[in-house]
Amino acid sequence: MAPTIPLLTPYKMGNFNLSHRVVLAPLTRNRSYGNVPQPHAILYYSQRATEGGLLITEATGVSDTAQGYPETPGIWTKEQVEAWKPIVNAVHEKGGLFFCQIWHVGRVSNNGFQPNGEAPISSTDKGVTTGLDGGDWSPPRRLTTDEIPALVNDFRLAARNAIDAGFDGVEIHGANGYIIDQFLKDQVNDRTDQYGGTLENRCRLALEIVEAVANEIGRDKVGIRLSIFANYLECGDSDPEALGLYMAKALNKYKILYLHVIEPRMVQVGNIFETPYSTLPMRKAFNGTFISAGGYKKDDGNKAVADGNADLIAFGRLFLANPDLPRRFELDVELNKYNRATFYIQDPVVGYTDYPFLEG
Ligand SMILES: Cc1cc2nc3c(=O)[nH]c(=O)nc-3n(C[C@H](O)[C@H](O)[C@H](O)COP(=O)(O)O)c2cc1C
């Protein structure tokens, strides 16, 4: 008998029966023209769907102020909800489970993406200076305390819309330097109200969003993604271990489905570093499903699952380039190489749905 492949063993995530542990990580693909998901996404996502496999969508805007990159999808209008439906259906037809990652970029934007050319909103009025992608970021405007409930409400409505579109659940994007991260991290958040200063205050927005979304759609359909140890888009923290542990414990109160954490080794998007940090304390503190992501290959993914360090592993670039990634792991065959140059282009086919499947 062939040895068991830990990544390909079944797992029960709340009410969902997963047949394997290879998750499609959220991947922005910039092919949703006018912020509306397009028919070509039907093929893209269904190529990656498997019976009992979990897919997470690309980051999807919660409102008309949520965008900072070209042609990213949204889920705040009726048209967008309708446009998601056939995509979700196609994934379900293949037996896949599909979560929508809901997102607001905060200060990682510019006036050109904002209604009436206004300033992007954030926890702060300090702008991003250099930017991860060499983006052209405008100076942000600090949200006033009494504007925050409306932001929380946008996430709540987006989650409702995601369920209406047929998604199985949502992943709140609390990672990678976007608005929630801009509140969590003390190197960005310079507020003096109840949303800044202490750990409790900096985590308040994230937890209010979690609570609102869980109350709206059910806690068993809610996950959150965090990149506590990263410093993307100048969004770092002076004590990430304390922040991570505080969040993992605080999330237990809401009994949500999963916590999805980016490995500390992903100090920068795309490059692996040695760091003294570990996600294990967060894994141990959190009571729900733990998804780990960041730089995984088959072997260390298997090891993380076998050692109990994670329940599921999300693969980004490997899954982008290998639509049949779980099958390739099963057969232990060569993987297609990803082409970075086509990650973010707007072509509906190239670098998107043209990565080959295994023959036969
Ligand atoms: C093209 C591309 C787009 C990405 N878009 C998102 C996104 O929309 N939301 C998100 O949380 N992370 C996003 N990420 C980060 C990935 O989900 C993942 O954490 C990262 O690529 C590291 O995992 P990997 O080594 O398996 O690729 C993106 C990464 C890439 C390469």
Residues of the chain with pLDDT under 50: 132
Of residues 278, 277, 274, 244, the one with CA closest to residue 259: 244
Can you tell me the distance from the alpha carbon of 272 to that of 260, in angstroms, rounded to the nearest whole number? 18
- Name the active-site residue from 44, 45, 178, 296: 178
pLDDT attached to residue 359: 87
pLDDT for 264-276, tens place per residue?
A: 887 666 667 778 8
pLDDT attached to residue 134: 57
Q: Which helix (H) or strand (E) holds 293?
A: strand 289-293
- Extract the tokens encoding 360: 């036969």
C-alpha 77 – ligand 1 centre gap (Å): 25
pLDDT attached to residue 269: 62
Can you tell me the distance from the alpha carbon of 76 to that of 155, in angstroms, rounded to the nearest whole number? 9
**DSSP letter at 74?**
B
pLDDT attached to residue 131: 52
What is the atom index within ligand 1 of the atom nearest the CA of 320?
1
Rounded-to-10 torsion of CA 154, 14, 293, 250: 60
**How many CB atoms are closer than 10 A to CB 252?**
13
If 0-12 CB within 10 Å is exposed, 13-18 middle and 19+ buried, where does residue 198 land?
exposed
Can you tell me the distance from the alpha carbon of 79 to that of 97, in angstroms, rounded to the nearest whole number? 23
pLDDT for 65-109, tens place per residue?
A: 999 999 999 999 999 999 999 999 999 999 999 999 999 999 999
C-alpha 316 – ligand 1 centre gap (Å): 5
Can you tell me the distance from the alpha carbon of 12 to that of 3, in angstroms, rounded to the nearest whole number? 21
pLDDT attached to residue 128: 92
The pick from 44, 267, 269, 342 for probing ligand 1's pocket by mutation, whose C-beta has the most ligand atoms within 8 angstroms, reads 269
Q: Which residues line ligand 1 (CB under 6 A)?
A: 25-28, 58-59, 101, 173, 175-176, 225, 262, 266, 293-296, 315-318, 343
pLDDT attached to residue 268: 64
Residue 178 annotated as catalytic:
yes
What are the C-alpha distances in Å from 266 to residues 12, 231, 296, 344, 359?
28, 9, 10, 20, 33
Residue with structure tokens 């992501």? Answer: 293
pTM of the full predicted structure? 0.97
Terminal Cα-to-Cα distance of the chain (whole angstroms): 23
CATH class of 6-342: alpha beta
What are the C-alpha distances in Å from 93 to residues 49, 80, 87, 320?
9, 20, 10, 20
Where would I find the H helices in the chain? 40-48, 78-93, 148-164, 179-184, 199-202, 204-217, 240-252, 280-285, 298-306, 317-321, 325-331
**DSSP letter at 318?**
H
305 — phi, psi (to 5°)? -70, -45
**DSSP letter at 78?**
H
**How many CB atoms are closer than 10 A to CB 239?**
12
Give the contacts of 331 (CB within 8 A, at least 6 positions apart): 358
